[in-house]
Each structure stands twice: as C-alpha cells, then as structure tokens.
Structure 1
C-alpha cells in the first residue's frame, strides 16, 4: 500500500463569502490533491457555485484565502492568469462561455491567448474535441448546436488548456441519462491523465459513481471526507436537503458494502 501523501494543488483555508450581508460560506476548508475526484454537493443556494468561483480565482473571498502550490492567490491580472493556466472552470450554462463563430475557434481561444505556437494550438484543440467526442462539430456554429453539444464545447474549451484542476458546475444538468453516462465516461478518461476533477452537482448518483471524496455544503459549512462516509451519513444529507444515493441503500438491503455501481455485479 502506498501511503505517500498526494501533493496539494489548491488549498482553501477559512474561506468565507457574503452577498449583501448574507454569508453563504463560513470558514470553508478544502484541499484538492493531484489526480483526485471530488464531488461538491448541496441544495440550491448552498454556495456550491460560489465556492467553485473562489477556487477558480474569479471571486475573492470575504475572508480566508486560497493558495496554488502553497502560494496565495493574487487577484491582479497576472495573478488571475496564473490561476487560469492551472485551474479551469466550466459553468452550468454553456452559453456563458461560448462566443466564437465556430466550435474550433471557440476551443482554440484559451490556447491562443496563452501565446502557444499555432501547431500546438491545433494539436490541443483536436485532442480536446476528440476527448469531448465532438470532433465532427469542429466547423459548426456553436449556438446552432443542442444544449448537450454546447456543454461539450464548453468542456472542450477547458480541456484544451490542459488544466491541473478542472471545476465543473452541474455538468449533468439538462442532460438525458445516455448523455450523462457519456459525460461520466469522458470525465473518467480525462481523469486518467492525472487531472484533478471537482464536480458540483445535485445528481447524487452521478457523484457516487464518479468521486473518491465528497464535500457537502449545509448552512454555509463544508464537510469533507471519503464518499462512503459522507454520502452514507443520513443526518448530514438531510441537513443539506439532499437525497441518499441509491448504492448505500442497496448495500444495506444486501448486507454488503457497495462503493461503486460495479460492486453490484461483484460476488461476495
């Protein structure tokens, strides 16, 4: 067994944030390590999107701080650019991030602005389009695409940046079950490359299928632990106004431990 600690990329300490005197985050503590998969869960208005934007460097916390590789975030132009080179966020609404006249141009925007050589930009875009399974849409006009396709364009734009941490806000929202399964496969494939992935979601079963750790926001407080411990805690889930994932419920009925959907097919 390898007990070597996983290096931390992003660390939030004592992070709080208020909107018009309404405190939505209260002294949140979170560390994201290399290659981990974290699900961020909470009811509407619990502060999930706010926390993601703070981790992405687009919001400065009211108090507390966030660091990248041990260095505190700087919120000037150079500091924000440094964060964006390492951390990419895909918002819930793809139309917030898509603006170019073609899918290829949209996905290439970030790498071009990094000052990369044209050949590297083209290679990154093709890789991102392939990973997001939209290579056939490269020359299409983004706003003529379906909602699910536009979500994949926004995802490809983030992937083309080769981030060390990918933050996804409700990635499965508005997708049908097949599209959700395809998204899960894409994220697993991308994660295999070593990128840390943080998913804010209402889809408890999606979170159970994907994550290693889970973080639940309730009344501004963040509780983080291994997914089996967090998502099986009925009192915590009730306090966060969240349903229990199906796997622990089936686990209890079968009298065995289930940590992933594949365990349902496994023998005793």
Structure 2
C-alpha cells in the first residue's frame, strides 16, 4: 500500500510540482491519473518512485515512512518500477540484452539468474529477435518494449507507466495493453498517467484527477469521469461512452455506465 500525506514538491527553479497531495493506493489496484500537461502527474510519479524528495509531507510505503535516503532509494528499485514516457531516457547500453540486464545486475544477482530474467522478459514482450541489437537502431515502439522489459526484469510489485501509449502505432498499443493487463492479473499494482479518458474509464479501478499540482478528485471511474464539472475543471472530455449515455438520456449516476457498455 502507498499512502501520501500532504505532499508538497517545488522544483529548484521555483516551479510548483505538487501542492498538498494526499492519496491512498491499495495493493493490486489499477489506478489512472488524468490531467493536462503540467497537472502534476509526472511529478507525483517521480515522488512515488523515490526520485523527487518532497519538501513537505509524508510518503508511507507498506506502513513504513520512506525517508528518501540513498539506501532506501536503492531498495526502492526492488519494489517500484517506472516506465518513462520517452524510452530514450531509459535506454543507454550497447545492446538490448545489456539494457534489460542492467537492473538485475545492480541487484547483485548471479549471471544465471540475470540471463533467466532477460530471456523471460524478451519472450514476454515478443522481442527475442532484438536481443543483440543496439537500442538506437530500434523503432520507437520497439524501444518502448525494451524499456518495459528492463523494468519488469527487476520484478517490482508496483509499476508506474507514464503515458504508455504515447506515439505508438496500433500494433504496439495492443502489445502494451496486453502487458498491462497481464501485470495486474499477476497481482501487481499498476499506476498509469494518461490523457486518454476512454482507456482510463474502462481500465481503472480508481481514477485520480489532477490540476496544477493538486488532486481534484480520487474515486471510481463512475464517480469521477461521469462528472462533467470535474472533467471540465481538468480540461478533459467525458469518456465517449458517457457522452453516448447522456445523448440516450441515461442517468450515469443511477446506473453503471460500464454495465451499459456491456449491453450495447
């Protein structure tokens, strides 16, 4: 479980990233974060991943306060994995194998275990043929898959995806979607930052709406994303199925839109 209590983070040049953010994330849940660029989604993920240390507030991970020491940050790698929006931020080694192996190597695993983890995730992502290629030779979608494989090789319990579908073609979007679904079926906690209200509405257990570094609402998709006032406040459209329900004259609060979607 993750608990954030009154988190405040301001960047060194003075830009406010997060303001009085409090949030609870249950183990095994699927949580989508929605908001415009600059809403604070990435800043929040960087705090959760231990990269940004907030100036105020508490970050509690599995009932223990996280103090952002170097030791705790190294231990964090075993617990939480972060797939950045831009895969080039993560890929740096001479080959795909070396990139995926980097994390497990730094965990101090032996070569046999490292090889096993690399092979497992090459197979999971369907990128066995890329094993010996240099990351700079890959397409954007392939780079994204390698970045995901590198995070999964660490076998974290909690995985953060920052805009996982950004700039992907339809085939790679489907691959990414299948990976995300598989992770949650394994019992992983999956957090996704996205600009796609339709995906968030259908996929998430909980939706967090953000604006200017604050959480505007955090509840079920039905209670957050069927609320036109809340969605307008964060600068986003209602999910298409909710718009359809409105046109059909269906009260989205008295009946589950997801149930409606299954009937249509």
What TM-score do the two structures reach when normalised by structure 2?
0.92
| Number of residue-to-residue matches in the alignment | 257
The partner residue of 2:204 within 199, 211, 221 is 211
TM alignment of 1:153-192, pairs within 5 A = 153-192=146-185
SS at match of 1:39: strand
| Equivalent position of 1:259 in the other structure | 258
Q: How many angstroms apart in 1 are the aligned matches of 2:232 and 2:136?
A: 39
Q: How many angstroms apart in 1 are the aligned matches of 2:36 and 2:28?
A: 26
1:148 partnered with 2:150: no
| Equivalent position of 1:3 in the other structure | none
Shift of 1:251: 3.0
Q: What are the superposed Cα offsets for residues 161-181 of structure 1, whole Å, 9 maximum, x if unpaired?
A: 111100111111111233222
Shift of 1:265: 4.6
Q: What are the superposed Cα offsets for residues 84-139 of structure 1, whole Å, 9 maximum, x if unpaired?
A: 21001111110111011111111011011101122221121122222222222112
Q: What are the superposed Cα offsets for residues 2-47 of structure 1, whole Å, 9 maximum, x if unpaired?
A: xxxxxx2x21111111233332311111222221110011101111
The partner residue of 1:245 within 227, 239, 252 is 239
Q: Is the contact between residue 27 and residue 221 of structure 1 (CA under 8 Å) also seen in structure 2?
A: yes
| Equivalent position of 2:40 in the other structure | 47
1:38 partnered with 2:31: yes
1:13 partnered with 2:5: yes
Q: How many angstroms apart in 1 are the aligned matches of 2:201 and 2:169?
A: 18
Q: Is the contact between residue 13 and residue 66 of structure 1 (CA under 8 Å) also seen in structure 2?
A: yes
Q: Tell me the C-alpha RMSD between the 2 structures.
A: 1.7
Give unmatched runs, 5+ long, in structure 2: none
Structure 1 segments, 4+ long, off by >4 Å, are: none
96-105 vs 21-30, greater mean Cα deviation: 21-30
Q: How many angstroms apart in 2 are the aligned matches of 1:181 and 1:229?
A: 27
What TM-score do the two structures reach when normalised by structure 1?
0.90
| Equivalent position of 1:63 in the other structure | 56
